[in-house]
Amino acid sequence: MAFEITQTPLPPAETGATAARVGLRLPAFSRSIGVEQRMAFTEQLALLLDTGVSLHEALKVLAQQTEDPRLRAILQSLLDEVTEGKPFSLALSRHPEMFAQSYVSLVAAAEEGGFLQQVLKQLLEIDEKNSRLRSTIASALSYPAFLIVFSLAVVVFVLVVIFPKFQDLFQSIRDQLPWTTLALMGLSDFLTKHWLLSAVGLGAAVAGVLLWMRSPAGERLVDDLKMRIPIVGDIFLQVYLNQSLNVIGLALLSGVPVTAAIKASQEVIPNRRFARFLEKVREEVNNGRGMAAGFAETPFIPPMVREMVATGERTGELGKVMMRIADFYGRELNRRISILAKVAEPFMLMVMGVVVGLLVASLILPIFKLSKGIH
């Protein structure tokens, strides 16, 4: 039974007192069940198990104290299945919307080995690392994204509000206007007369692109581009290596078979090209050639990773080696993203200055010509 791997259960009164001392409460969330809820659940479950509460009582406490009805339903389902004597990992597998296959596989290995608390802490650490990485990337992209949106807003404002006021004034010297002014006047005229058509067309184009990106062909192309574009491709590769090797390393250290560890890592990578690489590695392991062969035959894998995987396989320390590589790429990602953000900000400011300067010049130059004609 799943709760046999936990510490000695406390009596009901002592269990309630322990939970009260810990002060556990899963927060309510308005959005769909996801990583934040899983992190809170994992941390609080590990904490309860560490205090000597049985798995059954821990799930009962968490189910009673959560305020989110959807999360409470999931916890109650876990509690019911564990009460019936089913493995905890099997209960988790019933809820893929919250627990990925990699999470379930590692919990299953921990149940067999009797070290559920340790694996829960490691799973929490991986989720926290991934969360920090997402925050770092979002923070790095937020300012350039703001500059892009602001620049587009300025361009639209000038074209829709400012340029129409000069249309009649420029008609007398239309044949002397710079080509940029003529082009912007034409675009301004179209936007002001056909703004509804423009808005509908833009919305339809965006919707069409998004739908195509979700199609099998679109997903394949986007996944390939993510790993082929210079600089950006290297960052995506490091993200995928960090996430997949974290899972493989933890799985191997937890006693999960190599092929199952690789399969679990495929669940966390949202890229078909990288997933095909992991599938190839799994096939090499099934054929008896080992993981190093799959890594060595893949051109986009860095030489350092190939050598370290081969060394880990020879020494029997593959799990530790995988975790070290993942940690290295986690640090390298933070460094590269920080550098990229520092470079992107002045570049975007320069682009914004060029765009605004072009708009202003397209207005000022014709006005100068008109003033000269008057004099």
* Residue at 157 is within a domain: yes
- Tell me whether residue 343 is in a domain: yes
Q: Is the pTM of this model over 0.75?
A: no
DSSP state of 268: T
**Domain for residue 108, yes or no?**
no
Q: Tell me which H or E stretch contains 218.
A: helix 216-228
Residues 68, 139 within the same domain = no
Residue 149 inside a domain? The answer is yes
CATH of the domain at 288: 1.20.81.30
Residue 53 lies in a domain: yes
Q: Are residues 37 and 169 in the same domain?
A: no
pLDDT digits (tens, 9 = 90+) for 127-142: 888 888 888 888 877 8
Residue 235 in domain: yes
SS3 labels along 280-317:
HHHHHHHCCCCHHHHHHCCCCCCHHHHHHHHHHHHHCC
Show which of 47, 69, 99 is a domain's final residue: 99
Q: Which long-range contacts (CB under 8 A, 24 or more apart) does 226-235 make?
A: 226/271, 226/273, 227/271, 227/273, 227/274, 227/300, 231/340, 234/336, 235/333, 235/336, 235/337, 235/340
Please check whether residues 33 and 166 belong to one and the same domain.
no
Query: Are residue 17 and residue 88 in the same domain, yes or no?
Result: yes
User: What does the pLDDT profile of the chain (375 residues) look like in tens digits?
Assistant: 333 333 333 334 344 444 434 444 444 433 456 788 888 899 999 899 888 888 989 999 998 888 888 888 999 999 999 999 999 989 998 998 888 878 888 888 888 777 888 888 888 888 888 888 888 888 877 888 888 888 888 888 888 888 888 777 777 667 777 788 888 888 888 888 888 888 888 889 989 988 988 888 888 888 888 888 888 888 889 889 988 898 888 888 888 888 888 888 887 788 889 989 999 999 999 998 889 988 998 888 999 999 999 999 999 899 899 999 998 988 888 888 888 878 887 888 888 888 888 887 887 877 776 666 555
What's the pLDDT tens digit per position in 130-184?
888 888 888 877 888 888 888 888 888 888 888 888 777 777 667 777 788 888 8
Domain membership flag for residue 110: no
90 and 150 share one domain: no
Structure confidence by residue, pLDDT tens digits, 93-104: 899 888 887 888
In terms of domains, do 71 and 17 share one? Answer: yes
If asked whether residues 51 and 159 sit together in one domain, one would say: no
Asked whether residue 65 falls in the same domain as residue 161, the answer is no
> Same domain for 159 and 294?
yes
Q: Which two tokens stand for residue 50?
A: 């560490």
Do 248 and 158 share a structural domain? yes
pLDDT score recorded for residue 374 = 56
Give the torsion sign (CA, 230, 235, 238, 239).
negative
Q: What is the pLDDT of residue 373?
A: 56
Residues 210 and 342 in one domain: yes
Residue 238 and residue 321 in one domain: yes
| The predicted structure's pLDDT at residue 4 | 33
Domain encompassing residue 30: 2-99
Query: So what's the pLDDT on residue 164?
Result: 81
- Tell me how many domains the chain contains: 2
Q: DSSP assignment, residue 52?
A: T
Query: For residue 33, what pLDDT is reported?
Result: 67
Within a domain: 39: yes
Q: What is the pLDDT of residue 11?
A: 39
Tokens read off for 65: 């104290």
